[in-house]
Structure 1
Amino acid sequence: MKQQRGELPIDEGWAWVIVAAACCLFGLQAGGFKCQGILLVELVENFEGIYSTSTLIWIVNLKYCLSGLTAPLTGYLVVKFSHRIVAIIGVLLTCTSYIGLAYAPSFPAILLLHSIPCGLGEGMIFLSALLVSNQYFDKKKALALGIIASGSGIAAIILPHIYRVLFDNYSFSGACLLLGGVYLQLVLPACLYRPISFYARHSQSRQNRSEEIRLAEETEHHGIDSTRVHPNCTSQKGSRERSLSLSCQKSVDDSLAVPFCSQPQVNTISDSQLFKSIGDVAGSAIFIPTNTQKVAISSLDQEEYSKEKFNWRVILLPKFLIVVISVCLYAFGMATVYSAIAGLGKELGVPKSTIAVALMISGFVEIPCRISNGLFADKKLITSTAQYALALFIPGLMCLICAQVSGLAGIALVLTGMSTAGTSVFSLIPMVIIELVGSKYVTSGMSIQVLGQSLAFLPSSYITGAIYDTYGSWRVVFYYLAGVIWLSSTVVWPYCLIKWCKDTITDKTRRKTDGSVNAVS
């Protein structure tokens, strides 16, 4: 069986093409952020003696801030236009920013030509990549998000080598121009973000064609020449309703070409009825072999998928506040874990090369772990909220152990906790929002939580630095990180326990009621 244009590919077909495209875009965006340290070193060397490192670091920090602070605007643009348009604009802004960096002569010019457009562009790429799969997946939604998020692990392995090759073999301006060219290639996967309205648009024309074929078959079956039918025998209501005269059908004789009708009785046939009965008559140009369920788009489906609105009121929902508060607390700790690992390694006497290898291995481990977390969420053995709380708890536990264990073992435990669970937190957030407040709030909810996450990132580095300056030990910093990350988990666990108790009581009550009914019968 072949997938038709009027059928929505839920968990199949083009949905997986969109996942592959989103994985590519998310990977280069997230991987690019992980390579900002390399870019900062090159900026310091290029402007040595002109600007200090503390000044130039704002080039990177401003990008982080803007990508999160403009998340509500990005979410609004997504629902106003489409994921495809937002992603393409984001790619073009990112590409332009690196071209601007190549020719920017001063620090203010870099902020204007690079940091601002790059922050806006990468924020658009990030949010649209995480949200684009929501409409195309039902049973495999978490798996799709896990695959998309795993792109950051893949890019973290590949992109540092690309950055290093470019800056080692070309001038600073030449390397920035080539990076702009690399990001420009993302326009192609962004174009693969097919909007849901594509299927609804083609379903309408397909319904009209199906109706015409049915009318022709009815006419041929009764021996009526459709070009000579009396005008009183048929009627039409708009472009979406056609009628047949039942009295004409009863009075027609095979030998008569023009039937006589005095008072025709109209039987109206709606598009939805025709589409369900003979929707497979008309052909299509999309051929994706599949044997799984097809979902036909009705006018209600189109309204549900393509008319989502950005709603600020989601922040007033208590269940959503649980997500926002936990994410902000987690961001306080998670933002500095990887930078603190390097300092702890130096304090414990672990070689820099060993730390680098450990970080690379953690990138490899992160890829299958994110996909596995998605598969586990789709199995629904536990709720997505409980899995989210567990993913918050594990990194905090590993940070606490790391603060007590000396040598490479403690660092390995932290990286294991972050790779297996910690980095999957952000790909589980859309599932948690859908579970707690509903799918109609997922775009608004994701935008607002990214804004909160960005606001939490800002002071985290300064707090971590102040703790180290006060106590002079990275072990103390990891005690602080463990406490903050655990606190984010404790925000979610009470809700999970209360919900479990309510469900248990409801289930017992239902069983008693069913038992009483059976006993009476």
Structure 2
Amino acid sequence: MAAARKGLSASPPDGGWGWMIVIGCFLVTICTRAVTRCISIFFVEFQTYFAQDYARTAWIHSIVDCATMLCAPLGSFISNHVSCQVGIMLGGLLASAGLILSSFATSLEHLYLSLGVLTGLGFALSYSPAIAMVGNYFHKRKALAYGIAMSGSGIGTFILAPVVQLLIEQFSWRGALLILGGFVLNLCVCGALMRPVAGKEGRKNIPEFPEQEFEPEAPKQDFKKWSVCSPLIKVWSHKWLCPCSWQEYSFLLMPDFVVLAGSVLFMAYGCSPLFVYLVPYALRVGVSHQQAAFLMSILGVVDIIGNITFGWLTDRRCLKKYRYVCYLFAVAMDGLCCLFLPVLQNFPLLVPFSFTFGYFDGAYVTLIPVVTADVVGTKSLSSALGVVYFLHAIPYLISPPVAGWLVDTTGNYTASFLLCGFSMIFSSTLLCCARLAKKVKRTPLKPPDTDIDAKQPRRTNGAILYSVTGELDHKDVELLANETNSHCKR
């Protein structure tokens, strides 16, 4: 038992097999986030084949992103209570099945279910557990490890975007989806790499709350403390169910996490439509199909630079304290890029946009798990990431269709891109204001010189008077003493 407890408290190894975990997470992000981004290349093909408008076609990408983020807590639950390896492998099988079934689609509704729900569910079971595993293996070099792992999204986009365009030209969109389905099966290989950290292995061999078995009084205190959950305990006959759930999600009551969660909603709303409409927008302003796919490749490769450089820089001692500020800056810069996008209407101007947006997108995506870990701690990181990615679900679901509706209504992309930009800037501003308010609240106030120490005894003719700090001054004490003396004489 002592050995098991010692293992549980072991610090992250910051290396060793942890680098294999980083490689595994790198491949997971390629097979999940990069493939999701490349679905936008199918947008025009789906719209043409099924003869539908922007809003209805955009639901495909929205449902994929929404299902991925909405089911992220399920991925964290399987990782915490079953195995990270099982979760990722199961996710790979589901995602592959969804892509293969999508290649036989005969309607948009078919794609909503297969490519949207089934593939998104598979990505959810793989994505958040893989990211949480990196946090379990690294502490000192956490931002760098996350930068390398999350750069898979950029590298995958850079490689897959022209490849998918080539596959569509050679085998049509059906053949391209079928090949992507086989490619996504590599998630099963990634899952095999996710070996639990040494300190976590002892958990399966000891009770979840071992000290309660050796201290008879502890369970009674726990039942009093968790009396609200007593119906659940009676139904399930599991006396540790509620404390376990509370320990996993106690961070939900932290003010810092609540503010972070609120900002994530606006950030997710702003970033999603651009990956859906960058290629259609480029085609609208006269860019060729190959150049439009190349814009996605540029965005992806610069995303890699943002992942790694921001991860490395924020691990430096001089910037480690300012990770939060770096995250705010990156989100705000992406918002500014969206505001300027409507005036960029040719390929030479869209190239620097892809560079700038891709760099800062990689920067803040890398810092999301790092900032979350700084707020809630490493122990709650898996559950917290599940909640954070869960909060992406609703914005990811509604933002592309809303942007598509604005395009159908106004006839251009200006309103859609402006709404995205302002949403991301508001997300950064919200966190900045919360940070400033917290600093102001922490500023110590000098106590007045006339204050009297709390609970300091004062004796007057045998009567003991207790003064309250900041409430009673010396005159009030003398007046109260005189009244007490007169009362005693009576």
Q: Deviations over 1:119-163 (max 9, x none)?
A: 210111221222110110011111111111110111112223443
Larger radius of gyration: 1
Paired residue for 2:391, among 452, 471, 476? 452
Q: Deviations over 1:370-415 (max 9, x none)?
A: 1011111211414221111111111123333445677556534532
AA partner of residue 31 (structure 1)? A
Residue in 2 aligned with 1:127?
A: 128
Distance 2:31 2:283 in 1: 30
- Do 2:59 and 2:401's aligned partners in 1 also have CA atoms closer than 8 Å? no
- Do 1:20 and 1:148's aligned partners in 2 also have CA atoms closer than 8 Å? yes
AA partner of residue 427 (structure 1)? T
- Do 2:261 and 2:388's aligned partners in 1 also have CA atoms closer than 8 Å? yes
Paired residue for 2:309, among 348, 368, 372? 372
AA partner of residue 69 (structure 1)? L
Seen in structure 2, the aligned counterparts of structure 1 residues 84 and 359 have a Cα distance that, compared at 3 Å, is same
Structure 1 unmatched ranges of 5 or more = 1-5, 205-306, 509-521
Is 2:39 aligned against 1:36? Answer: yes
Distance 1:309 1:325 in 2: 21
- Do 1:80 and 1:309's aligned partners in 2 also have CA atoms closer than 8 Å? no
* Pairs within 5 Å for 1:118-517: 118-170=119-171, 176-197=177-198, 200=201, 311-342=248-279, 345=282, 354-380=291-317, 381=319, 382-403=321-342, 411-469=350-408, 471-499=410-438
1:357 CA displacement: 3.3
- Do 1:75 and 1:310's aligned partners in 2 also have CA atoms closer than 8 Å? no
Structure 2 unmatched ranges of 5 or more = 1-6, 206-243, 447-490
Q: Deviations over 1:209-259 (max 9, x none)?
A: xxxxxxxxxxxxxxxxxxxxxxxxxxxxxxxxxxxxxxxxxxxxxxxxxxx
Residue in 1 aligned with 2:227?
A: none
Seen in structure 2, the aligned counterparts of structure 1 residues 340 and 44 have a Cα distance that, compared at 3 Å, is closer
1:426 CA displacement: 2.5
Residue in 2 aligned with 1:89?
A: 90
AA partner of residue 270 (structure 2)? G
What SS does structure 2 have at the residue aligned with 1:311? Answer: helix
Distance 1:113 1:343 in 2: 23
AA partner of residue 16 (structure 1)? W
Q: Per residue, is there more helix in 1 or in 2?
A: 2
Seen in structure 2, the aligned counterparts of structure 1 residues 57 and 399 have a Cα distance that, compared at 3 Å, is closer
Seen in structure 2, the aligned counterparts of structure 1 residues 467 and 175 have a Cα distance that, compared at 3 Å, is closer
Q: Deviations over 1:145-183 (max 9, x none)?
A: 111111011111222344345455557766554433322
1:358 CA displacement: 3.5
- Do 2:270 and 2:424's aligned partners in 1 also have CA atoms closer than 8 Å? yes
Greater Cα shift, 434-443 or 185-194? 434-443
Seen in structure 2, the aligned counterparts of structure 1 residues 463 and 141 have a Cα distance that, compared at 3 Å, is same
1:82 CA displacement: 2.4
- Do 1:391 and 1:421's aligned partners in 2 also have CA atoms closer than 8 Å? yes
- Do 2:99 and 2:177's aligned partners in 1 also have CA atoms closer than 8 Å? yes
Q: Deviations over 1:471-503 (max 9, x none)?
A: 544344433333221111101112333455677
1:449 CA displacement: 1.8
Seen in structure 2, the aligned counterparts of structure 1 residues 175 and 189 have a Cα distance that, compared at 3 Å, is same
Q: Deviations over 1:335-361 (max 9, x none)?
A: 122445456556766666544433322
What SS does structure 1 have at the residue aligned with 2:315? Answer: helix
- Do 2:39 and 2:61's aligned partners in 1 also have CA atoms closer than 8 Å? yes
Residue in 2 aligned with 1:80?
A: 81
Aligned residues with identical type, % of pairs? 27
TM-score by length of 2: 0.70
- Do 1:154 and 1:363's aligned partners in 2 also have CA atoms closer than 8 Å? yes
Distance 1:422 1:310 in 2: 32
Distance 2:164 2:287 in 1: 26
Residue in 2 aligned with 1:207?
A: none
Distance 1:396 1:472 in 2: 22
Seen in structure 2, the aligned counterparts of structure 1 residues 17 and 362 have a Cα distance that, compared at 3 Å, is same
- Do 2:99 and 2:181's aligned partners in 1 also have CA atoms closer than 8 Å? yes
Paired residue for 1:25, among 25, 28, 31? 28
Q: Deviations over 1:181-223 (max 9, x none)?
A: 3222332221010012587559x9xxxxxxxxxxxxxxxxxxx
1:32 CA displacement: 0.9
1:88 CA displacement: 0.9
Distance 1:104 1:74 in 2: 27
Seen in structure 2, the aligned counterparts of structure 1 residues 423 and 310 have a Cα distance that, compared at 3 Å, is farther
AA partner of residue 338 (structure 2)? C
